[in-house]
């Protein structure tokens, strides 16, 4: 049994873990969804979000951007994080269940991305550090 939390903004994956108003907690048995619940997270701080996911025995998180501290805490508690995911939450869950999602990246202090992100503007003149674009599929 796996429990997956998806940071939601409406029906889409929330652009930021720490600002998601809702989390969808999905219980799966292999590739099949067995239970779903939505939990309001509006009053939770970033630390409370991590603790709530841990308390609810979540083993996997799908979210948009995430700060390094939260990502490190999630990793410490054994919660695998798929970050920088965009689009409809249902599509992201389907991608996870089909093995098509890849664990994500971290946001460094100052809002810069760390990981396999390309900088906007290419490698030559005009390159601006800290402006990130996601890898192409």
Going residue by residue through the chain, which has 137 residues, state the pLDDT in tens, using 9 for 90 and above: 799 999 999 999 999 999 999 999 999 998 899 999 999 999 999 999 999 999 999 999 999 999 999 999 999 999 999 998 989 999 999 999 988 887 654 444 444 444 433 333 334 333 333 334 344 44
How far apart, in whole angstroms, are the C-alpha atoms of residue 21 and residue 4? 17
| pLDDT the model gives residue 134 | 41
Nearest CA to 9 among 89, 92, 119? 89
Against a cut of 0.85, is the pTM above it? no
Beta strands in the chain (DSSP E): 2-9, 12-13, 22-29, 32-40, 60-62, 80-82, 106-107, 113-114, 118-119, 132-133
| pLDDT the model gives residue 30 | 80
| pLDDT the model gives residue 31 | 84
Q: How many CB atoms lie within 10 A of CB 101?
A: 16
Residue 9 in contact with residue 20, Cβ under 8 Å?
A: yes
| pLDDT the model gives residue 104 | 56
User: What fold does the segment set 2-133 form as a domain?
Assistant: Nucleotidyltransferase; domain 5 (3.30.420)
């Amino acid at each position: 049994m796996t429990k997956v939390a998806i940071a939601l903004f409406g029906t889409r994956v929330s652009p930021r873990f720490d600002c998601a108003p809702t989390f969808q907690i999905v219980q799966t048995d292999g590739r099949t969804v067995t239970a779903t619940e939505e939990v309001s997270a509006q009053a939770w701080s970033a630390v409370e979000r991590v603790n709530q996911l841990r308390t609810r025995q979540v083993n996997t998180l799908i979210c948009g951007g995430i700060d390094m501290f939260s990502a490190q805490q999630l990793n410490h508690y054994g919660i695998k994080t798929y970050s920088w995911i965009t689009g409809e939450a249902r599509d992201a869950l389907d991608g996870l269940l089909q093995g098509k999602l890849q664990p994500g990246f971290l946001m460094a202090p100052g809002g810069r991305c760390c990981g396999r992100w390309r900088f906007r503007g290419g490698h030559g003149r005009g390159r601006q550090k800290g402006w990130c674009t996601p890898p192409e599929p």
